[in-house]
């Protein structure tokens, strides 16, 4: 039986939930968007994703979000691989090689918090989105014809909302995934990653806006974000047994930065935090009328900037299919195609590449390191190889491959 209401209930106003809600509402599908954070604390989220690949920019553009983000971000056509041990630039990759593949031959360095801030403003202004802030989703039930989501409202009262489908964009701790008892297959790295945000212009030392730095002892990533104040984010690995509070003491942070770049003067540290890195993919992305998207379906290391990007790609893929199902232009079997396409991308692209990226940066064997660096150099210098590399690293290849999946 077809549901009487074509409403989609989206849990979580992160980048994935907001993009999905906007893409659906702009195609006249009514949405209820439930978010635990409220007006008072929505902007107090820890720093996370921020590199937006070309294909993701095309999707933001489709819903009118790109024009709001571009002025708040940094257009970065080039990214670097560095050898920290040898203090040398290994390779510079220029997205100009993708000029015939995308309208946006660059990444936009624009942090997740700015993306959700702008997208939330758009969601608030859209009459088709019933936005419930300060509302914590607690569980759901489904029948053959619809779903009911339970949540606590801002006053702490239990409430329910009914719809045709529920999409979990709640992040890695998805209640929907747990209630459906869907296994989150994969592993968690034993070491935490230390993130330090610094107000210092690393470009004066030759770095690009986005840098992957290999080192047998202490690999790192270095990314530039637009201020004020302009900030750079440096990621460092930590040892599994290290004391967490000792790692983030101001002297320890300064010492680590001075080892990385000895300036002899204290760095202006804006913020720091530690995070755990998981490499996991849900065994299923759909069970009846409940669907997983973004971090609730897959999580990965941030090396390569693929988590949020691939989550946003889930959102747009799913929106197009839900619209067709709700307009009765397609059978709900197309939602299984969503799972086949996006699970394939999560396993074969996002997981495979991020695991490989970490190995590449942390490689200890000098002969393998030399070989890796030679290959990167050769690839960056040959326009054909560079384009193929960039199609993969920017996830365009993953989208093209998914299109071939029936
Ligand atoms: C340090 C770091 C750097 C990263 N860098 C990058 C990068 O450069 N590029 C990239 O692509 N990815 C990156 N990632 C990954 C990226 O942040 C995530 O993949 C992305 O945020 C996932 O988006 P999401 O919308 O699925 O989930 P989330 O961003 O986790 O959003 C989930 C939302 O759901 C809400 N919520 C949760 N539970 C409930 C509930 N019970 N009821 C109501 N609401 C709820 C939360 O408050 C939140 O607003 C990085 C991650 C980290 C940790």
CA 246 to chain centre: 29
| Residue 54 near residue 128 (C-beta atoms within 8 A) | no
Residue 225: predicted pLDDT: 96
Residue nearest to atom 29 of ligand 1 (CA): 14
| Residue 97 near residue 148 (C-beta atoms within 8 A) | no
Residue nearest to atom 51 of ligand 1 (CA): 48
Length of the chain: 406
Residue nearest to atom 53 of ligand 1 (CA): 48
Q: How far is the CA of 302 from the centre of ligand 1 (A)?
A: 11
User: How far apart, in whole angstroms, are the C-alpha atoms of residue 74 and residue 109?
Assistant: 5
Neighbours of 77 (CB within 10 A): 17
| Residue 59 near residue 69 (C-beta atoms within 8 A) | no
Q: How far is the CA of 1 from the centre of ligand 1 (A)?
A: 35
Q: How far is the CA of 351 from the centre of ligand 1 (A)?
A: 17
Mutate to test the pocket of ligand 1, among 17, 170, 310 (most ligand atoms within 8 A of CB): 170
Q: How far is the CA of 278 from the centre of ligand 1 (A)?
A: 13
Q: Model confidence over 250-265: pLDDT tens digits?
A: 999 999 999 999 999 9
Q: Exposed, middle or buried, 163 (CB in 10 Å: 0-12/13-18/19+)?
A: buried
User: How far apart, in whole angstroms, are the C-alpha atoms of residue 30 and residue 126?
Assistant: 10
State the chain's maximal CA–CA distance in angstroms: 71
Residue nearest to atom 4 of ligand 1 (CA): 49
Q: Exposed, middle or buried, 337 (CB in 10 Å: 0-12/13-18/19+)?
A: middle
Residue 39: predicted pLDDT: 93
Neighbours of 392 (CB within 10 A): 15
Question: Among 249, 259, 254, 274, which residue's Cα sits nearest to residue 193?
Answer: 274
Question: Among 372, 373, 80, 360, which residue's Cα sits nearest to residue 223?
Answer: 80
Atom of ligand 1 nearest to the CA of 308: 11
| Residue 300 near residue 44 (C-beta atoms within 8 A) | no
| Close Cβ partners of 341 (under 8 Å, ≥ 6 residues apart) | 317, 402, 403, 405
Residue nearest to atom 5 of ligand 1 (CA): 49
Mutate to test the pocket of ligand 1, among 39, 271, 302 (most ligand atoms within 8 A of CB): 302
Residue nearest to atom 30 of ligand 1 (CA): 171
Q: How far is the CA of 391 from the centre of ligand 1 (A)?
A: 24
* Strand locations in 343-404 (E): none
Atom of ligand 1 nearest to the CA of 50: 8
The C-alpha angle 137, 143, 149, rounded to 5 degrees, equals 10
Question: Among 178, 160, 159, 158, which residue's Cα sits nearest to residue 168?
Answer: 178
Question: Among 114, 107, 125, which residue's Cα sits nearest to residue 21?
Answer: 125
Q: What are the b/e assignments for 353-381, b being 16+ CB within 10 Å?
A: bbbebbebbbbeeeeebeebbeebeebbe
Atom of ligand 1 nearest to the CA of 53: 11
Q: How far is the CA of 308 from the centre of ligand 1 (A)?
A: 7
How far CA 133 is from CA of 13, 110, 126, 150, 238, in Å, comes to 9, 24, 15, 14, 36
Q: How far is the CA of 370 from the centre of ligand 1 (A)?
A: 35
pLDDT in tens, the chain (406 residues): 334 479 999 999 999 999 999 999 999 999 999 999 999 999 998 878 899 999 999 999 999 999 999 999 999 999 999 999 889 999 999 999 999 999 999 999 999 999 999 999 999 999 999 999 999 999 999 999 999 999 999 999 999 999 999 999 999 999 999 999 999 999 999 989 999 999 999 999 999 999 999 999 999 999 999 988 899 999 999 988 888 899 999 999 999 999 999 999 999 999 999 999 999 999 999 999 999 999 999 999 988 889 999 999 999 999 999 999 999 999 999 999 999 999 999 999 999 999 999 999 999 999 999 999 999 999 999 999 999 999 999 999 999 999 999 9
Residue 228: predicted pLDDT: 85
DSSP tag of 87: T
The counts of H helices and E strands in the chain are: 13, 20
Q: How far is the CA of 47 from the centre of ligand 1 (A)?
A: 10
| Residue 132 near residue 151 (C-beta atoms within 8 A) | yes
User: How far apart, in whole angstroms, are the C-alpha atoms of residue 61 and residue 69?
Assistant: 10
Q: Are strands 8-11 and 165-168 parallel, antiparallel or unpaired?
A: parallel
Q: How far is the CA of 30 from the centre of ligand 1 (A)?
A: 24
Q: How far is the CA of 14 from the centre of ligand 1 (A)?
A: 6
pTM: 0.96
**Ligand 1 pocket residues where CB is under 6 Å:** 11-17, 34-37, 48-51, 112, 136-137, 169-171, 175, 195, 275, 294-295, 302, 305-309, 311
Residue 14: predicted pLDDT: 98
Q: Model confidence over 315-365: pLDDT tens digits?
A: 999 999 999 999 999 999 999 999 999 999 999 999 999 999 999 999 999
Atom of ligand 1 nearest to the CA of 195: 1
Q: Are strands 286-287 and 290-292 parallel, antiparallel or unpaired?
A: antiparallel
Q: How far is the CA of 170 from the centre of ligand 1 (A)?
A: 8
| Residue 41 near residue 194 (C-beta atoms within 8 A) | no
DSSP tag of 146: -
Residue nearest to atom 46 of ligand 1 (CA): 12
Residue nearest to atom 18 of ligand 1 (CA): 308
């Amino acid at each position: 039986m077809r549901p009487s209401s074509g409403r989609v209930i989206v849990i979580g106003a992160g980048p994935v939930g907001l993009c999905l809600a906007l893409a659906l509402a702009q195609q006249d599908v009514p949405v209820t968007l439930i978010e635990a954070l409220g007006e008072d604390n929505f902007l107090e989220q820890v720093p996370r994703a921020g590199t937006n690949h070309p294909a993701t920019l095309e999707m933001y553009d489709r819903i009118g979000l790109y024009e709001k983000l571009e002025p708040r971000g940094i257009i970065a056509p080039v990214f670097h691989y560095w050898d920290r041990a040898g203090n040398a630039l290994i390779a510079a990759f220029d997205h100009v090689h993708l000029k015939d593949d995308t309208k946006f031959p660059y990444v936009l360095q624009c942090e997740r918090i700015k993306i959700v801030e702008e997208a939330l403003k758009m969601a608030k202004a859209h009459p088709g989105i019933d936005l419930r802030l300060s509302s914590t989703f607690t569980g759901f039930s489904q029948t053959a014809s619809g779903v009911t989501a339970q949540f606590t409202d801002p006053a702490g009262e239990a409430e329910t909302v009914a719809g045709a489908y529920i999409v979990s964009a709640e992040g890695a701790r998805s209640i929907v995934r747990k209630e459906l008892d869907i296994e989150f297959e994969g592993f968690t790295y034993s070491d935490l990653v230390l993130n330090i945000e610094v107000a210092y212009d690393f470009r004066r030392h030759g770095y690009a806006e986005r840098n992957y730095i290999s080192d047998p002892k202490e690999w790192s990533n270095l990314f530039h974000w637009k201020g004020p104040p302009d900030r750079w984010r440096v990621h460092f690995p930590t040892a599994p047994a290290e004391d967490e509070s000792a790692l983030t003491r101001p002297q320890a942070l300064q010492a680590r930065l001075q080892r990385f770049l000895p300036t002899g003067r204290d760095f202006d540290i804006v913020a720091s935090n530690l995070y755990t890195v998981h490499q996991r993919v849900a065994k299923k992305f759909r069970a009846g009328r409940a669907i997983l998207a973004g971090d609730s379906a897959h999580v990965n290391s941030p090396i390569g900037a693929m988590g949020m990007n691939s989550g946003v790609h889930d959102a747009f893929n799913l929106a197009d299919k839900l619209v067709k199902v709700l307009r009765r232009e397609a059978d709900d079997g197309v939602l299984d195609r969503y799972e086949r396409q996006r699970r394939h991308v999560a396993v074969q692209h996002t997981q495979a590449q991020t695991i490989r990226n970490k190995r590449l940066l942390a490689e200890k064997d000098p002969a393998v390191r030399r070989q890796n660096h030679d290959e990167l150099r050769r690839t960056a210098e040959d326009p054909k190889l560079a384009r193929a590399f960039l199609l993969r690293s920017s996830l365009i290849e993953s989208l093209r491959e998914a299109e071939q999946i029936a």
